Structure 1
């Protein structure tokens, strides 16, 4: 269930009162501990015993070692299957916390309280949990629904600009794949600020939720949510491997540009429409060089994408503004042409 929280966190307190968990565990990183936890604790109205668990911030923490530590902490505190885990943080916290909750004692309840725009509009929604392994993003995970996803837009004011911009990429993606009106509304935003973005968050959340409801286990339609991610994740993984971490949204923006070019090369959209999309993404995002990576390296990682089957790369690809196809096979020639187009885009 998706809810926009009021200033008193009424939806959370009502849920806890009705659920009456045996214990509450609040998972945070050092950033949300400092900037968001005081707001949560100041509005938490319960007599249920709670513990705060803090991990390091960043993608590097989203691994099996952290998971094991969290399992052990829950065990040490004698967490039972009536315990509740509150994931207070960005995509790393909701992905990781959801995975821990879904596997500890075969599953305990959890609530996502996303604090970043990326988590509000994307990572916290849809029941996907996951961790990275061997530089491959979200290669291990589960499908597990949060009891609630509670969004408090005021938390956006705790973000730096880069984090805010990162989340905006997923909102643009939602418009491109499913709602041209949402896309048109977003590209009129001249300055990315919490105040300018907040009115569009709920619509973006509902676009994703409506897709997920129709295809929870990602057998068909849900795959359209991966637009921009096939190439974006490959580049993100290569950067992670070279210890040059880039924000997820910037990788997705890069991926959307290249995959839009592929749509044009495949004659699915016109050159004019492709240029419109690419220019509107470029106006928000810096250029990320991929000159250090060969086509072979990028394509090799794309072959690890979870959407693939029988050794073939399956793209989620635009067929127009607000319209996306899935399981689309692209020729390697067009993949390489689009990569070269991106390398020379600023020439």
Structure 2
């Protein structure tokens, strides 16, 4: 399992950590937003010989073409098998930069420094790396652990409000699947007014506990996918449109739909289903789409990696704080859940 370090001052802590590692050269992968707003927080402690690679920000860059550019850069800079890569950025950078490091020369060492709330509480933990392929989320990838994940709350000050809010969806999910008291302690109406250091550490501990029990997602780890089968389908559906959804915004829709399925297929009570709906709608609002869009969204659900032998499997709630997995759901039931979401208004 990877080492997760919580930093009080990122420049000093990174300098100390690098001092304990043996590497021949250093490369930093980031997007153009991170280069502008986050790199300055660590730049002064980086060796002058460090090389940087920047790509345009956005989920639509998380593809094979960008990977080719990264591998070309690594090759051009003469990086050998003792090179260390720092992935500085959100989930896209961590997933793709880690994937490129894990496959270059059959694998070189890398560190993840997540700079968004979403990547700090979710994408940075668990060793999942990969890219989107032909419109399907995280379709190509590997499991490889970084040397360390270094989490610093100070990066959150660089985030636009919408990006910040996107990460809060995964925080809410951690409470829903594993800890009802944690879920109910989170402030929804004033979601920005949280004790973020404490919350990030709590969410990371929940995810880390699940991942350590099931590193390769053969069983328990599947509960982390609550909200993601339908949520990823919505994210893929809106990708590249003028109504593009951030990951957390799509997962919020997914969690509402899958709470409906939890009430239908498991033992989640109607009261708890409505509690979940109210909580998520108060933070994320309601996304409009057409009845005619639903078949395509269902079709995208069929590409989910948890599906087997043409059967769609979901992770659903027994109650708030307790999640089950490998529950078969029909296309008709998914259709009903999406229709239910459409019927909800603030």
- How far 1:292 moved relative to its partner? 6.0
1:25-174 pair list within 5 angstroms: 25-42=27-44, 44=45, 47=47, 49-174=49-174
Match of 2:298 in 1: 299
CA contact (8 A) 1:228 1:256 kept: yes
* 5+ residue gaps, structure 2: none
Q: Contact (CA 8 Å) 2:112, 2:149: kept in 1 or not? A: yes
Q: Secondary structure at the match of 1:342?
A: helix
Residues 5, 11 of structure 1: 8 Å contact kept: yes
* Partner of residue 21, structure 2: 19
CA distance 1:338–1:288, shift in 2 (3 Å): same
Contact conserved, 1:20 with 1:48, CA < 8 A, in 2? Answer: no
User: Alpha-carbon deviation of 1:246?
Assistant: 0.8
Q: CA deviation at 1:48?
A: 7.2
Match of 2:183 in 1: 183
Secondary structure, counterpart of 1:60 in structure 2: helix
- Which residue of 2 is the match for residue 233 of structure 1? 232
Shift of the alpha carbon at 1:17? 1.6
Describe the SS at the equivalent of 2:284: coil
TM-score by length of 2: 0.95
RMSD of Structure 2 on Structure 1 (CA): 1.7
Deviations 1:84-140 (A, max 9, x none): 110110111001101000000000111110010000000111100111111111101
Q: TM-score, normalised by structure 1?
A: 0.95
Q: Distance in 2 between matches of 1:17 and 1:198?
A: 25
In structure 2, the partner of 1:344 is 343
- 1:202–1:343 Cα change, 3 Å: same
Aligned partners of 2:316 and 2:48: how far apart in 1? 48
Number of matched pairs: 344
- Structure 1, 306-315 or 193-202: larger mean CA deviation: 193-202
Question: Post-superposition shift, 1:332?
Answer: 3.4
The answer (yes or no) to whether the contact 2:25–2:82 under 8 Å persists in 1 is yes
Residue in structure 2 matched with residue 208 of structure 1 by the alignment: 207
In the TM superposition, residue 199 of structure 1 has moved relative to its aligned partner by 2.7
